[in-house]
Structure 1
Amino acid sequence: MILRQFLHSDPVAASYLFGCAGRAAAAVVDPLGDIALYLRIVEETGMRIRYVIDTHLHADHISVGRDLAASAGTEYALFAEAPAAFPFRGLRDGEALELGNVSIQVLHTPGHTPEHISLLVTDRTRADEPWFVLTGHTLMVGDLGRTELATSAEEGARALFRSAQRLKSLPDYVEVLPGAYSGSVCGRSLSGKPMSTIGFERRHNKAFRIDDEEAFVCAMVADVPPAPPRAAQIRAANSGMMAAAE
């Protein structure tokens, strides 16, 4: 297994490159910024990008996923029901993507946005159990994602509650690799530590601990921070509905 976590500061976000070195097969998740960063890593490690995946249509930055996929000669993927106006590989809940000895299971985890997915990753050279989960802006270290950027805050919160229960069902040892950390506009109480475990978040993440749906909805819709600048335009640009925001 090769895993690289990239921490970006403008905007605050995390992206990932991982895969099977033995089979030279990699995936890139939630890429942003200069695509040369990812292309350089695969060249240095002798790997080939098999999939470029966005966990959702972002509202805080312009995705470079399609550009990276085109440069790497590979597939760009989103959840199958994502409202995108361009061709992409549609991923379904429960679908498995293979990267040699590394396997990715797609989990539909809506709430932050309706099309949001998480990616549960297993390295079969280590164990048959999952090792980590890429949670995008659903579960982050210290909080869960805001819910009003693509639907009503309450509707998003109810979907997020169900997604949180699904992630809670994962073993405590599974590592959480989120798509954002402290300073991101997509959460309220985010930690500066950009990784955790399901067990630690189950015990210490205030929102993730709530087991009652009504209490959860009340907590998520209270004191919602201002939306990211041009959030609607950026999400529209990432969906192919309009040109990228200036």
Structure 2
Amino acid sequence: MILRQFLHTEPVAVSYLFGCGGKAAAAVVDPVGDIAPYLKTAEETGMRILYVVDTHIHADHISAGRRLAEAADAKYVLFAEADAASPFYGVRDRDVLPLGNVSAEVLHTPGHTPEHISLLVTDRTRCDEPWFALTGHTLMVGDVGRTELAATAEEGARVLFRSLQRLKTLPDYLEVLPGAFAGSVCGRRLSGKPMSTIGFEKRHNVAFRIEDEEAFVRAMSEEIPPPPPGAAELRAANAGLALV
């Protein structure tokens, strides 16, 4: 397994490159900005980028996903029912992206946005169980994703609650690699530490700890931060439906 984490500050976001060095197969998740670092890292680690995944249609920045996929001759991956322009490689819940000895299983985890997915990543050279989860803006370190950027806060919260209950069934030791950290507009109590585990978040993440749906909806409907500037326009651009 090869894993590289890219921390961005303008905007605040996290991207990942991971894959199988032995089979020279990699994926990039949620790329931002200049695509050169991803291409360079793939070259340095001896891997070819096969998939470029956006966990969701972003509302706080312009995605580099389509540009990177084109440059790398890779498949650009979104949830199959995303409201987005073609072409993209549509995946559904429980689909698997093969990367040599590594695999990434798709979990549909809506709520932050309707099309949001997470990835359960397994390295079969070590075991047949997932090693970490790329959770995008569904579950982050210290908080969960805001729910009103693509729906009402209440509607999004009810959907997100069900997604989080699903993540809670994952093993406590499973690593959580999120799509943002402190400073992002997509969460309220985010930590500056850009990784955690399911178990630690179950114990110490206030929003993730809530077990009652109505209490969760109330919590997600309070203290809503201002939306990212041009959020609707950015989502439309990232979906390929408009220009910014």
Q: TM-score, normalised by structure 1?
A: 0.98
The code of the aligned residue for 2:29 comes to V
Question: How far did 1:147 drift?
Answer: 0.2
In the other structure, the counterpart of 2:155 is 155
In the other structure, the counterpart of 2:29 is 29
Question: How far did 1:209 drift?
Answer: 0.3
In the TM superposition, 1:76-225 aligns within 5 A as 76-225=76-225
Structure 1: tracts of 5 or more residues without a match: none
SS at match of 2:121: strand
The code of the aligned residue for 1:52 comes to V
The code of the aligned residue for 1:164 comes to L
In the other structure, the counterpart of 1:226 is 226
Tell me, yes or no, if structure 1 residue 19 matches structure 2 residue 24.
Answer: no
SS at match of 2:31: coil
Q: Distance in 1 between matches of 2:77 and 2:98?
A: 14
The CA deviation string for residues 91-141 of structure 1, in whole angstroms up to 9 with x for no partner, is 100101110000110000000000000000000111111100000000000
Following TM superposition, where does structure 1 have runs of at least 4 consecutive aligned residues deviating by more than 2 angstroms?
A: none
SS at match of 1:126: coil
The code of the aligned residue for 1:87 comes to P
The code of the aligned residue for 1:48 comes to R
SS at match of 2:68: helix
Q: TM-score, normalised by structure 2?
A: 0.99
Cα RMSD of the aligned pairs, angstroms, is: 0.5
Q: Distance in 2 between matches of 1:7 and 1:31?
A: 10
SS at match of 2:166: helix
Question: How far did 1:46 drift?
Answer: 1.1
The code of the aligned residue for 1:92 comes to R
Identity across aligned pairs (percent)?
Answer: 75
In the other structure, the counterpart of 2:64 is 64
SS at match of 1:232: helix
Q: Distance in 1 between matches of 2:43 and 2:102?
A: 19
SS at match of 2:228: coil
SS at match of 1:8: strand
Question: How far did 1:86 drift?
Answer: 2.2
SS at match of 1:131: strand
Structure 2: tracts of 5 or more residues without a match: none
Q: Distance in 2 between matches of 1:101 and 1:12?
A: 31
The code of the aligned residue for 2:132 comes to F
The CA deviation string for residues 44-67 of structure 1, in whole angstroms up to 9 with x for no partner, is 111100100000000000001011
Aligned residues: 244
Q: Distance in 1 between matches of 2:131 and 2:56?
A: 22
Q: Distance in 1 between matches of 2:45 and 2:141?
A: 29
Q: Distance in 1 between matches of 2:74 and 2:197?
A: 31
In the other structure, the counterpart of 2:6 is 6
SS at match of 2:227: coil
Q: Distance in 2 between matches of 1:74 and 1:33?
A: 17
